[in-house]
C-alpha cells in the first residue's frame, strides 16, 4: 500500500499536470499541429476525469489524516480550483 505522504505527493503532482494541460490547451493554438491536436484530444477525457477525481481524493485524505497546512491535499485542491477557473473563464 502507498504511504499517505507519497499518495499526497502523487495527487499533488497529478493536479499540477492537470493544471498545466488545461492552461496550455486554453491559451495556445494547439489545433494548428495535427500531432499535438491528436495528443490533446486523446488526453482530454482522462484530464477531465482527474479534474473531478482529484478534489474527491484530496478531501478523503483530509478527512482520513486530519487537516494540516503542511499536507499536499489542500494545495492539490487549490491547484485544481485554479484549473477549473481557467476552464470556466475560457473565452
The pLDDT value given to residue 70: 81
Average pLDDT over residues 7-26: 92
Q: How far is CA 90 from CA 15, 19, 59, in A?
A: 19, 14, 26
pTM (2 decimals)? 0.87
pLDDT in tens, 50-87: 999 999 999 998 898 888 888 889 999 999 999 999 88
Q: Which of 3, 1, 21, 7 is nearest to 73 (CA)?
A: 7
19 contacts 79 by C-beta, under 8 angstroms? yes
Alpha carbon of residue 53 to chain centroid:
9
| pLDDT over 80 at 3, yes or no | no
Amino acid at each position: 500500500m502507498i504511504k499517505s505522504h507519497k499518495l499526497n505527493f502523487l495527487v499533488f503532482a497529478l493536479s499540477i499536470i492537470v493544471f498545466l494541460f488545461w492552461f496550455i490547451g486554453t491559451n495556445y493554438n494547439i489545433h494548428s499541429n495535427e500531432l499535438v491536436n491528436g495528443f490533446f484530444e486523446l488526453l482530454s477525457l482522462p484530464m477531465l476525469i482527474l479534474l473531478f477525481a482529484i478534489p474527491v481524493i484530496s478531501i478523503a485524505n483530509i478527512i482520513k489524516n486530519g487537516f494540516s497546512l503542511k499536507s499536499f491535499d489542500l494545495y492539490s485542491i487549490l491547484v485544481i480550483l485554479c484549473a477549473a477557473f481557467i476552464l470556466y473563464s475560457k473565452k
